[in-house]
Amino acid sequence: MAERISDAEHAVMEVLWDHAPLDAQNIYDRLSDSQSWTLATVKTLLSRLVSKDALTTEAEGRKFFYRPAIERSAYVSGESRRLVDRLFGGKLSPLVAQFAQAEKLSAEDIAEIEALLRELKT
Amino acid sequence: MAERISDAEHAVMEVLWDHAPLDAQNIYDRLSDSQSWTLATVKTLLSRLVSKDALTTEAEGRKFFYRPAIERSAYVSGESRRLVDRLFGGKLSPLVAQFAQAEKLSAEDIAEIEALLRELKT
DNA sequence: GCCTAACGATTACATCTGTAGTCATACGAG
DNA sequence: CTCGTATGACTACAGATGTAATCGTTAGGC
């Protein structure tokens, strides 16, 4: 299990993490803001996510309601770890350094992270 | 331009970021530790990276020396931003929070990041 | 009861990716 | 000069991905 979720599929997952269960039509509607996919495309993505065990379905009449089978936090965790392992030798601090240098962290960002860390030490 | 670099291609880039220029055989040798690709596979990846303008070549006799055409930092920067945008609303602190919570940052990690931030504020 | 519209399922197809084999060629050993 | 070998180019092919059309079925309106 734990097949990899593609970018397009991820967009669908986000909708369902935000609000589930939903049927295909509803998911399509919510995606319309950000994507210009047809209903058919959304349905394909849903099918693929079901075969990947990333979604579960509940039949209601002749239609399905879809619900995430994995936690967003698990997905986010996996993806983050992947990136950090691949690009930063598995350590978080070089990533922070990278952002600091290339992205100009705002004072606010810095304060937020510091607060976080402070809390961790208690 | 700026075509996306795949995972396998990235492994090749890392070798060249570490030490360039190198010829195909040499790259293959250096990859042998981590990957069990054949020379043919490595050559395919090199060709694709050249068409993606991620590598440049210098002919020397009948062979090529390959050299990165993009900085590692640019690549790392792009990939990091992609992840942070996709999963953390573009902000770094939620990523740090995520790691803190799911990955148990060591005291050492925390200290490193704090030092980094302290330095930023000067 | 019949037709239509809405569903999921199936099929389609180009591109990208991982992985590698084959081909033409030219350099270097003898 | 000849031949094997190393080299880049080209070809191959299955699976993933983005994107969508079509098909078979069935519930609901009339």
Is any atom of strand D within 7 angstroms of residue B72's beta carbon? no
| pLDDT recorded at residue B1 | 62
Say if CB B106 and CB A90 are below 8 A apart. no
Inter-chain touch A96–B96, beta carbons under 8 Å = yes
The parts of chain B modelled with pLDDT lower than 50 are none
| pLDDT recorded at residue A34 | 94
Asked if A105 is an interface residue toward chain B (Cβ–Cβ < 8 A), one would say yes
Residue of B46, B44, B48 whose CA lies nearest to B3: B48
pLDDT mean across residues, chain A: 94
Is any atom of strand D within 7 angstroms of residue B43's beta carbon? yes
| SS3 at position A64 | strand
Of A86, A87, A117, the CB nearest to B113: A117
What confidence tens digit (pLDDT) does each residue in B57-72 have? 999 888 999 999 999 9
Q: Exposed e or buried b for every residue in B69-85, given b needs 16+ CB within 10 A? A: bbeeeebbbebbbebbe
Q: What are phi and psi of B62, to 5 degrees?
A: -95, 10
* pTM of the model as a whole: 0.92
Mean pLDDT to the nearest integer, A6-10: 98
Strand ranges for B2-116 from DSSP E: 55-60, 63-68
Of B98, B110, B116, the CB nearest to A120: B110
| SS3 at position B118 | helix
What residues contact B95, with CB distance under 8 A and at least 6 apart? A80, A95, B83, B84, B87, B88
